């Protein structure tokens, strides 16, 4: 079975999807982490992504990206033999991820990897275009959203807990930039699939959001059965 959870940055997709995957014994696939990893690679190569997209595309064959899972089910991103999981959550990498994600060559490379993983087992996959493009035949599709201010505050708190030096204003501007970039790109833009259930988590605690999606997913799984 395939469950697709899409939505803008900071909507809580990854946290909620991980919790659900653990409960359902599904494999969790964080597609955003893949784009972040490519973004990190481009930054390490000192590529000015918006102004040098051709350099990103020329370097794609140099990227050996593997997705591995720890004993606790945690997804780890392995870039050319190095575990970069702890390096891809900074605001700088967030912007780089959004910039590389608009490049069709990057999306095609990563979508192939995502579909290959989804074909192997029951999965919950989250991202921007999972239900519309990556897994258009997914049995359950959810579009998770919240106000940009709410999402920015959640991300700011998360980064502060990880001792990442940033401000709420910086995170908010980053969030607005990513929303515009993701929604306006020509290839596979961020949008809810026609058959997706839209869930707004504004004002929810994490526990409330997890419970809401759990009830929705279990209800739909019973319906499928």
CATH number of domain containing 110? 3.40.50.300
The b/e string for 183-210 (b: 16+ C-beta within 10 A; e otherwise) is: eebeebebbbbeebbebbbeebeeeebb
Mean pLDDT of the chain: 92
pLDDT at 45 over 70: yes
Q: What pLDDT is attached to residue 224?
A: 57
Residue 225 pLDDT more than 70?
A: no
- For residue 88, the model assigns a pLDDT of 95
Helix (H, G, I), strand (E, B) or coil at 8: coil
**3-state secondary structure at position 3:** strand
Question: How many residues can be counted in the chain?
Answer: 225
Q: Are strands 82-83 and 75-79 parallel, antiparallel or unpaired?
A: antiparallel
CA dihedral 131, 29, 65, 171 (to 10 degrees): 80
Residue 156 backbone zone (phi > 0: left; psi -120 to 50: alpha; other: beta): alpha
**Owning domain of residue 142:** 2-224
Give 164-190 pLDDT, tens digit per residue: 889 999 999 999 998 998 899 888 889
pLDDT of 120-148, one tens digit each?
889 999 998 999 999 999 999 999 999 99
Q: Pairing relation of β-strands 65-69 and 123-127?
A: unpaired
Say how far apart CA 134 and CA 107 lie, in whole Å.
10
How many Cα atoms are found within 13 Å in the side-chain-facing hemisphere of 10? 29
User: What total of structural domains would you count in the chain?
Assistant: 1
């Amino acid at each position: 079975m395939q469950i697709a959870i899409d939505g803008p940055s900071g909507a809580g997709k990854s946290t909620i999807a991980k919790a659900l995957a653990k409960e359902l014994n599904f494999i969790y696939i964080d597609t955003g982490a893949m784009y972040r990893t490519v973004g990190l690679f481009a930054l390490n190569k000192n590529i000015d992504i918006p102004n040098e997209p051709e350099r990103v595309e020329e370097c794609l064959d140099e990227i050996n990206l593997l997705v591995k899972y720890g004993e606790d089910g945690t997804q780890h991103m392995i870039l050319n033999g190095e575990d970069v999981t702890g390096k891809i959550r900074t605001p700088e990498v967030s912007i780089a991820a959004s910039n590389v994600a608009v490049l069709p060559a990057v999306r095609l490379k990563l979508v192939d990897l995502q579909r290959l993983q989804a074909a192997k087992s029951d999965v919950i996959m989250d991202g921007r275009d999972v239900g519309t493009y990556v897994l258009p035949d997914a049995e359950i599709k959810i579009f998770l959203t919240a106000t940009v201010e709410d999402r920015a505050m959640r991300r700011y708190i998360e980064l502060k807990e990880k001792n990442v030096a940033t401000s709420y204003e910086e995170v908010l501007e980053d969030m607005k930039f990513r929303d515009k970039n993701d929604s306006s790109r020509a290839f596979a833009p961020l949008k809810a699939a026609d058959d997706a259930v839209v869930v707004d988590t504004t004002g929810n605690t994490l526990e409330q959001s997890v419970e809401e999606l759990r009830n929705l997913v279990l209800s739909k799984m019973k319906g499928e059965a």
